[in-house]
């Protein structure tokens, strides 16, 4: 497949016309040759530092408004006592339990909750949580150190002194956000687990900081976890949940065979949002994107174009008999303060108008009539209405997402639009903040406005900044990863979910630092958070396997015969040599007498040469709790396609294996992603400046008591030929 063009954008008017000729030979003969498996001796060399705790993090996400590190450290190994004050509210209980759970599960540190005031001289390791209206002492203690509570209901003040920590806020939500910051001050030191000294006063730059995502069959647990771990933890406070495929009691015939979600499953999400200070705003598509109404061929009598059932008939009274029944059921179920009616891309599919053409109403008339009817209905029930804004913008008024055919029609539509509707103004362009010209346009015309971006970091940063600079209501991060919300086993879409962390940072902080210059990497934060990664608390001894006998490829390519045949500008010559600490794992990067430094297995895109279909590394018998492989792949292949296998052979004849699936355990050196057990260990550049990477791929030994006699890595012969550079065993 070959594609050429501007993805998602029209070719610029001043652009050129391109002609491309592609020639193919009548037959292809592979340049590389697959040879028999290789067996090599791989003597283990002992090391006292197979794994080494990394330095304490020097950042907080999102970045606080006022932050000063004091140099103090509180050891937490003796245990932690969390004081909530007398009669804590449910939100303080949630904050305390969130804190205790993280300390126990991530840092292996026990903490207990005392529902009462702290003593006048709190013990070492104490943490005081104070909602000012119920438990005033923490705020008073902070005042003594010059830290005043910010005048914002989500703001908080925090101090970690020499012996104990104090968090205070005007609301329970503020205390909870203080806790999520405090947890980022926990790390490792010479005394084990420690709490880093700091003084913080913090509040958000935008009042609305939200995520948009869809529902899904059996997705309640996944979405609930995302609410807790990716929204609340990073101070996102709103969830616009597109959930039209919930199985409604009043329309059970519309249950979608793949996307249908039961109410019991959806209830999990409601409870999680309520507990973790996330305002849940249901979104059920209306007018455009109304395919859900016609699931299974139902309700075609109210389809505007029955041959393409996409939009419903505004002129048919039964439309509203149906949709208000569903809306009322949704209000009864969610009990929300706001409701998103969708209403984007109304004319994208089918004929519009078609059945309503005889009414004499224009597209604008039909759109406005429907919105007025829906808005009046929700206002009678004291529910705020949200909607997308693309149908009300002309191309001269926005960077993208502009579907009004003329400026005059766009202006007419906005003039007729009720001013109490909250506009979610979606734009996915990567332009500068001042080029998001529709944000001040909407605000200037009297609409509360939320900018909505997608996954590109520059789009997120600049649109969030545009919202802040124009005093918009907030920023919304949209998710378009299919109608079934899934993070586990959905590595191909993880880039959309780690974008939540990017959005949280910029929408709260107002920081204008480019993503590449931030002190954290969103994808790594996402993986550590989602998989509840436990940091290494102490050094671990182990061994390095000597791979020199098996190395068959140079990392340097002077003449096209090394590395993967790309030439001297595209090789791994910048990779360090010797004993190197990559992340928390120490690897030995050797070269053999031929100058080779990698084992490249067989693959259909390999360059000229002989490549074994497998390599067996004989260890002579060694014990380990885990093996860590410094790996990459020669080229990408189809997502989740099996590209190889790791087999561990024990001395007793038993074998354990682990697949190397592309996009999960294995990645090409130009890929930028990571997996649950495969983390980016090294990032560098080739000579031409192209980013290149290696991964630390973990194999956990289910039988650490057994001696390992050999390690075998094989290739299935896809484009993604496995490449092994080093193996470290950890005792």
196-234 tens-digit pLDDT = 999 999 999 999 999 999 999 999 999 999 999 999 999
Q: Residue 9: is its pLDDT beyond 60?
A: no
- How far is residue 281's CA from residue 227's CA, in Å, rounded to a whole number? 13
The whole-number pLDDT of residue 21 equals: 82
Mean pLDDT of 414-423: 98
CB 679 within 8 A of CB 527: yes
Mean pLDDT of 307-326: 97
- Check residue 120 and report its DSSP letter: S
Is residue 39 classed as helix, strand or coil in its secondary structure? strand
- How far is residue 78's CA from residue 124's CA, in Å, rounded to a whole number? 8
Mean pLDDT of 306-333: 97
Half-sphere exposure of 612 (CA within 13 A, CB side): 20
Is residue 562 classed as helix, strand or coil in its secondary structure? coil
CB 319 within 8 A of CB 299: no
- How far is residue 202's CA from residue 392's CA, in Å, rounded to a whole number? 37
The whole-number pLDDT of residue 417 equals: 98
Residue 403, phi-psi category: left (phi > 0), alpha (psi -120 to 50), beta (remainder): alpha
> Which secondary-structure segment (H or E) carries 626?
strand 626-633
- How far is residue 325's CA from residue 31's CA, in Å, rounded to a whole number? 65
Task: Measure the CA dihedral 508/400/214/641, to 10°.
Answer: -100
The whole-number pLDDT of residue 566 equals: 87
The DSSP result for 563-616, as a single string, is TTSS-TTSS-TTS--EEEEETTEEEEE---TT-EEEEE--BTT--SEEEESEEE
- How far is residue 180's CA from residue 61's CA, in Å, rounded to a whole number? 9
- How far is residue 402's CA from residue 367's CA, in Å, rounded to a whole number? 15
Pair of tokens at residue 646: 């790791």
Mean pLDDT of 653-681: 94
Ranking 5-14, 187-196, 203-212 by mean pLDDT, the lowest is 5-14
Task: Measure the CA dihedral 545/546/548/554, to 10°.
Answer: 50
Q: Residue 122: is its pLDDT beyond 70?
A: yes
Non-local CB neighbours of 99 within 8 Å, separated by 6+ positions: 82, 111, 127, 179, 182, 183
Compute the mean pLDDT over every residue in the chain, rounded to the nearest whole number.
95
Mean pLDDT of 20-25: 78
- How far is residue 457's CA from residue 499's CA, in Å, rounded to a whole number? 7
Pair of tokens at residue 105: 């599960």
Q: For the chain, give the percent of residues with pLDDT over 70.
A: 97
The whole-number pLDDT of residue 17 equals: 66
Q: Label residue 388 exposed, middle or buried (CB < 10 Å: 0-12, 13-18, 19+).
A: buried
pLDDT band at 97 (very low <50, low <70, confident <90, very high): very high
Non-local CB neighbours of 615 within 8 Å, separated by 6+ positions: 37, 38, 39, 40, 550, 599, 601, 712, 713, 714, 724
The whole-number pLDDT of residue 231 equals: 98
The whole-number pLDDT of residue 16 equals: 63
Q: How far does CA 690 lie from the centroid of its chain?
A: 24
The string of pLDDT tens digits covering residues 334-377 is: 999 999 999 999 999 999 999 999 999 999 999 999 999 999 99
The whole-number pLDDT of residue 63 equals: 98
The whole-number pLDDT of residue 389 equals: 97
Crossing angle for the helix pair 363-380 and 407-416, nearest 10 degrees?
20
The string of pLDDT tens digits covering residues 526-538 is: 999 999 999 998 8
Mean pLDDT of 474-487: 96
Q: Which of 601, 658, 597 is nearest to 627 (CA)?
A: 658
- How far is residue 378's CA from residue 334's CA, in Å, rounded to a whole number? 14
The string of pLDDT tens digits covering residues 579-603 is: 999 999 999 999 999 999 999 999 9
């Amino acid at each position: 497949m070959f594609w050429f063009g501007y993805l998602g954008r029209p070719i610029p008017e001043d652009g050129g016309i391109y002609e491309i000729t592609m020639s193919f030979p009548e037959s292809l003969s592979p340049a590389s040759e697959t040879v028999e498996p290789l067996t090599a001796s791989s003597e283990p060399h002992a090391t006292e530092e197979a794994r080494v705790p990394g330095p304490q993090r020097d950042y907080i996400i999102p970045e606080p408004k006022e932050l000063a590190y004091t140099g103090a450290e509180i050891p937490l190994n003796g245990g932690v006592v969390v004081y909530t004050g007398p009669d804590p509210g449910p939100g303080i209980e949630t904050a305390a339990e969130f804190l205790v759970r993280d300390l126990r599960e991530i840092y292996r540190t026990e903490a207990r909750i005392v529902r009462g005031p702290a003593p006048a001289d709190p013990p070492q390791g104490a943490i005081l949580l104070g909602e000012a209206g119920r438990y005033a002492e923490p705020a008073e203690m902070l005042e003594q150190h010059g830290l005043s509570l910010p005048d914002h209901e989500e703001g908080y003040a925090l101090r970690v002194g020499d012996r104990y920590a104090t968090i205070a806020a005007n609301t329970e939500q503020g205390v909870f956000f203080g806790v999520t910051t405090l947890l980022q001050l926990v790390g490792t030191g010479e005394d084990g687990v420690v709490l880093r000294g700091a003084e913080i006063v913090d509040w958000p730059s935008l009042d609305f900081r939200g995520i948009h995502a869809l529902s899904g069959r059996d997705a309640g647990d996944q979405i609930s976890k995302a609410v807790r771990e990716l929204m609340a933890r990073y101070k996102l406070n709103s969830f616009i949940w597109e959930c039209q495929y919930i199985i409604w009691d009043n329309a059970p015939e519309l249950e979608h065979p793949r996307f249908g979600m039961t109410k019991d499953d959806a209830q999990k999400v409601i409870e999680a949002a309520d507990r973790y200070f996330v305002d849940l705003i249901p979104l059920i598509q209306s007018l455009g994107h109304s395919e859900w109404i016609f699931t299974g061929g139902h309700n075609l009598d109210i389809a505007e174009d029955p041959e393409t059932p996409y939009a419903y008939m505004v002129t048919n009274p039964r439309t509203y008999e149906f949709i208000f029944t569903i809306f009322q059921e949704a209000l009864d179920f969610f009990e929300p303060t706001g409701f998103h009616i969708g209403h984007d891309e109304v004319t994208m599919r089918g004929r519009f108008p078609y059945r309503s053409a005889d009414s004499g109403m224009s597209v604008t008339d039909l759109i406005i009539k429907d919105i007025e009817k829906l808005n009046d209905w929700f206002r009678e029930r004291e529910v705020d209405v949200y909607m997308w804004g693309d149908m009300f913008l002309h191309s001269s008024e926005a960077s993208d997402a502009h579907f009004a055919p003329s400026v005059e029609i766009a202006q007419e539509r906005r003039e007729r639009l009720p001013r109490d509707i909250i506009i979610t103004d979606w734009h996915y362009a990567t332009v500068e903040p001042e080029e998001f010209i529709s944000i001040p346009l909407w605000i200037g015309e009297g609409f509360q406005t939320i900018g909505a971006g997608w996954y590109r970091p520059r789009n997120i940063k600049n649109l969030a900044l545009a919202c802040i600079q124009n005093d918009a209501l907030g920023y919304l991060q949209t998710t378009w990863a299919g109608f079934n919300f899934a993070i586990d086993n959905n590595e191909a879409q993880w880039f959309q979910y780690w974008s939540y962390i990017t959005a949280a940072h910029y929408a709260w902080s107002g920081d204008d630092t480019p993503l590449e210059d931030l002190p954290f990497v969103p994808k790594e934060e996402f993986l550590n958070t989602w998989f509840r990664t436990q940091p290494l608390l102490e050094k671990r001894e182990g061994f390095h396997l000597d791979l020199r006998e098996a190395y068959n490829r140079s990392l340097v390519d002077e003449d096209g015969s090394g590395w993967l045949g790309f030439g001297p500008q595209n090789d791994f010559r910048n990779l360090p040599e010797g004993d190197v600490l990559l992340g928390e794992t120490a690897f030995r990067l050797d070269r053999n007498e031929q100058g080779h430094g990698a084992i490249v297995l067989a693959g259909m895109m390999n360059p000229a040469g002989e490549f074994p279909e497998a390599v067996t590394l004989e260890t002579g018998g060694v014990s380990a709790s885990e093996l860590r492989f410094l790996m990459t792949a020669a080229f990408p292949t189809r997502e989740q396609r099996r590209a190889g296998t790791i087999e561990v052979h024990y001395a007793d004849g038993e074998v354990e294996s682990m697949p190397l699936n592309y996009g999960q355990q294995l990645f090409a050196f130009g890929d930028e992603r990571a997996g649950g057990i495969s983390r980016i260990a090294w990032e560098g550049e080739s000579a031409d400046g192209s980013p290149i990477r290696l991964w630390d791929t973990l194999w956990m030994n289910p039988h650490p008591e057994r001696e390992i006699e050999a390690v075998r890595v094989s290739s299935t012969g896809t484009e993604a030929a496995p490449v092994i550079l080093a193996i470290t065993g950890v005792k």
